[in-house]
Structure 1
């Protein structure tokens, strides 16, 4: 199949492109390279050094003998989107190309507006391009488990069967997002479902949990193929922060009580989920939703897992939570669709031992400790 990966220079887009290429697909990547600009804006950098997109593509061709096409441009440029889709002629489009950090969207008004404009309008341009050029293209869109929030009922895979006043219907699962970023993903999901229902497009919405890990089978073949390892308070994940703190001998900083529970997934499972979705497309007119996660853990449990796996003493501390979220809550997620397609999940405890501590140990001299502490506050106060 011909697969175009949008956001193909990013943390997940790049290893996904390699995984699909390695599995025999003709792959193109599209990116505006703005993720690298966020680093300059925030004064941070990936813990693991990353090469330019040109170096990465050339390295992959050297290592694998496989070519990846590259398109540099922005989804906000509708002409560019249309021209790229016409030129590459994809059977499937994997869409990672959005501003992905909740804290970034909560910095101030400008960052909130930027996030929603960038994500929602870019996705709309893509939907129109697919509809007007080739409605048979299968859109595989990266959503987020954060769209659901933390409801006091089981979280189903995208849809909910309801009975109200004696009548039944199947409706999109209610959304209760926790940031302007997560809200942009909700808007995306609604727009995609609408175009499937009205225009007969085909789409798979992957509501993904928090991804951890930095190494896949393909990126491990050459250091020039490495993907990002973010640890700062804006783009980093709680797990990456904990692993670095353990290696540096610092306390693990848990926000609040640590009872906040989320779905999590290994990066190797993420790229495999994308492959499974691409190779098993939705039907025309179908808006298919998979909850892309393999385990659920609270922040406290993640800290305890890191402490147990690390070969040395680890202290756990608690900080005031900068976010507005439930400290303790019910969380039970249905996530059977991808496993039914053949996913064989990795577990967090195995990944920590296999690679993450080693990656941090090798790059600990690059850590800017101050960048790990939270500075973005969810609450707005009068100036």
Structure 2
């Protein structure tokens, strides 16, 4: 199958492209390198050194013998996007090409507006490119579990059957996003569902949990194929921060009470979920939703797991929470769709020992300690 990966230079886009290529698909990547520019803006960098896209593509050809064509440009440039789709003629488009950090979207007005404009308009351009060039293209869109928020009822897989005043209907599950970034994903989901309903698009919305890990079967074949490992307070994940703090002998910094619970999955499961979605496409007119997660943990549980697993003494500290979020809440997510397609999950407890601790130990000399602490507060419209 011919698959175009938007955001193919990113943390997940790059290993997804390699995984699909390795599984026999013809893959191309498209990117505008915005994620690398965010590093320049914030003065941060990946813990693991990464090569530029040309080097990565050449290295993959060297180790696999397979070509991955590159398209360099912006999804906001509809003419460029249309040319790329017409030239590569994909059967599926995987859409990772958005600003992905909630804290980045909450820095100030400029960053909120940028995130909304970049993500929502870029996604609309992708929808129109499919509708006008080849409506048979299957759109596989990266959403987020953050679209749902933390409701006091079970989180269904995208849709919910409701009864109100004696009448029943099937509706999109209500959304309660926690940042301007998460709101863009909500807008994307609604726009794509509308496109499926009125144009007959075929789309799979992957509401993904927090991804951990940095290595896949393909990226370990050559150091030049490595993907990112973000740990800073804007783009990094809480788990990456905890592992680094443990390795440096620093206290693990839990925000608030630590009762915030989220779904999580290994990066190897992420790339496999994408393969399963691509190889088992949605029907024409179908807006299919998968909750892409394998386990759920509270922040406190994550800290305790790292402390219990790390081969050395670890202290846990509790800080004021810079985010606006419920710190203790109900959280029960239905996530059967991808398991039914054949996903065989990895467990976090295994990944910590097998790869996360060794990766951090090897690269801990690259840590900028100042980047580990929160710099963006949800309650402030202007952050320093």
Range class of TM-score, shorter chain: over 0.9
Once the two structures are superposed, residues 13-60 of structure 1 have per-residue CA deviations (whole angstroms, 9 ceiling, x without a partner) of 000000000000000000001110000000000000000000000000
Q: Secondary structure at the match of 1:190?
A: helix
Which whole-Å CA distance do the structure 2 matches of 1:295 and 1:118 have between them? Answer: 31
In structure 1, what is the equivalent of residue 348 of structure 2?
Answer: 348
Aligned: 1:280 with 2:280 = yes
In the alignment, which residue of structure 2 is the partner of 1:140? 140
Work out the CA distance in 1 between the residues paired with 2:382 and 2:27.
49
Task: Work out whether 1:184 is the aligned partner of 2:181.
Answer: no
Cα deviation, 1:115-137, whole Å, max 9, x if unaligned, reads 00000000000100000000000
Structure 1 moving runs of 4+ over 6 Å: none
1:1-150 aligned within 5 A = 1-150=1-150
Deviations 1:311-355 (A, max 9, x none): 111100000000010010000000000000000000100000000
User: Are the structure 2 counterparts of residues 355 and 382 from structure 1 closer, same or farther at C-alpha, using a change threshold of 3 Å?
Assistant: closer
Task: Tell me the distance in 1 between the aligned counterparts of 2:40 and 2:19.
Answer: 29
**1:240-251 correspondence to structure 2 within 5 Å:** 240-251=240-251
Question: Where does residue 265 of structure 1 map in the other structure?
Answer: 265
Give the SS at the match of 1:321.
coil
Name the structure 2 match of 1:361.
Answer: 361
**Alpha-carbon contact 2:322-2:378 (below 8 Å) kept:** yes
SS at match of 1:268: helix
Q: Give the corresponding residue for 2:237.
A: 237
Deviation at 1:380, TM superposition (A): 2.6
1:381 deviates by 6.2
Q: What does residue 196 of structure 1 align with?
A: 196
Alpha-carbon spacing, 1:218–1:381, altered in 2? closer, same or farther (3 Å)? closer
Secondary structure at the counterpart of residue 196 of structure 2: helix
Q: CA deviation at 1:382?
A: 8.9
Unaligned 5+ runs, structure 1: none
CA-based RMSD: 0.9
The match for 2:293 is 293
**Displacement, 1:289?**
0.0
- Alignment-derived partner of residue 321 in structure 2: 321
- Output one character per residue of 1:193-218: Cα deviation in whole Å (capped at 9) or x when no partner: 00000000000000000000000000
> TM-score, length-normalised on structure 2?
0.99
* In 2: Cα distance, 1:382 partner to 1:302 partner: 30
Aligned equivalents of 1:239 and 1:216: distance in 2? 18
Deviations 1:198-257 (A, max 9, x none): 000000000000000000000000000000000000000000000000000000000000
1:253 maps to 2:253 = yes
Secondary structure of the structure 2 residue equivalent to 1:68: coil
The aligned counterpart of 2:374 is: 374
State the distance in 2 between where 1:320 and 1:18 align: 40
The number of equivalent residue pairs is 383
Unaligned 5+ segments in structure 2 are none
3-state SS in 2 of match to 1:376: coil
CA distance in 2, matches of 1:306, 1:220: 24
